[in-house]
Amino acid sequence: MAQDRRHPPPVRPPAARILSGVLNPSLLAAAGFLVLVLGAPDPAGRSARAAVLALALGPGLATGYALFLRTTGRVPSLFIPSSRARMAPMLLGGASCGAGTWALHAVDAPPGALGLMAGLGAQAPLLVGLTLRWRVSLHAAGAWSVAVALCSTFGAAGGPAVAAAAAVSWARVREGAHSAAQVGAGAVVGGGCTFLGLLWSTFPGGFR
C-alpha cells in the first residue's frame, strides 16, 4: 500500500534520537555498575568478580534476550514499542537482578553496586504492572536508578549521572516516545526503588 503523503510519519528530532540511543538503560546500568564496583575500596581483590557478576546479571542477560528477539525478527527494534512484547524481557531482567543481588552479596560487593542491583530487581514487577495499562518509560527508570546510586555513593561527583538522566528524560518526551507523566513515573519508580535498595544494602545488622 502506498504511503499517504498527506500524513507522513513523524520525524524524530536528531538530538533526542541520539540521546535515547546512547543513554539507553543497558549502557547506563553497565557504566553505573563499573563505577560503583571499581570506584570502591577493594582490600580483598574482589572487584573483578563483582564487576563480572554485575554486568552479566544486571544489564547483560536481559539485553542479550532483547538482542535475540531483534535478530530473529520478533520485535522491530531494541527499544520495544509494544507493551505486551516488553513483558518477557522485563520479567527476565527482574529475575536476573534478583539473582544478581544474591550473587553480589555472596562476593561482598560494594554497597552501592548491591543497592543498585536490588533496586533494579525490585522495580521490575512494579514496571511490569504499570506497563500492563500504561507505557511507563523504562529509559527514565534505568537512568534515575543509576543517578540515585551514584549520587548516594559519591555525592556531588555523581552529578554527571543526574545530567544524563535529565537529558534522556527530556529526549524521550521530545521525540514523542512517552508523555511527561510516563517519564516522571519511570523516574519515581526507578529512583525510589534504588534508594530503598541502597538503604537495605547498608542497614546495620541487616542484609549485609
Contact 104, 50 (CB under 8 A): yes
Confidence of residue 42 (pLDDT cuts 50, 70, 90): confident
The radius of gyration of the chain's CA atoms, rounded to the nearest angstrom, is 17
In a domain, 169, yes or no: yes
Which among 138, 137, 161 is positioned nearest to 149, based on CA atoms?
Answer: 161
Is 143 a domain residue? yes
Between 11 and 133, the more confident residue is 133
CB neighbours of 144 closer than 8 A, spacing ≥ 6? 165, 169, 186, 187, 190, 191, 194
Domain total for the chain? Answer: 1
Tell me if 167 sits within 8 A of 118, measured CB to CB.
no
Is the separation of the CB atoms in 115 and 125 below 8 Å? Answer: no
**The model's pTM:** 0.89
Question: Is there a domain that residue 1 lies in?
Answer: no
H or E stretch at 97: helix 83-106
Residue 94 lies in a domain: yes
Which set of grid coordinates corresponds to residue 26?
A: 543497558
175 lies in some domain: yes
Domain encompassing residue 122: 20-202
Q: How confident is the model at residue 204 (pLDDT cuts 50, 70, 90)?
A: low
In a domain, 95, yes or no: yes
- Smallest CA-to-CA distance from 123 within 142, 104, 102, 150 is with 142
At 207, phi and psi to the nearest 5? -60, -40
Three-class secondary structure of residue 85 per DSSP: helix
Q: For position 76, what pLDDT does the model report?
A: 81
Residue 93 lies in a domain: yes
Q: Is 152 inside a domain boundary?
A: yes
Q: Evaluate the CA torsion angle 99, 186, 163, 200 in order and state its sign.
A: negative
Q: pLDDT by residue (tens digit) across 70-100?
A: 899 888 877 776 777 788 889 999 999 999 9
For residues 48 and 124, give the distance between their C-alpha atoms in angstroms, rounded to a whole number.
26
Answer yes or no: is pLDDT of 44 > 90: no
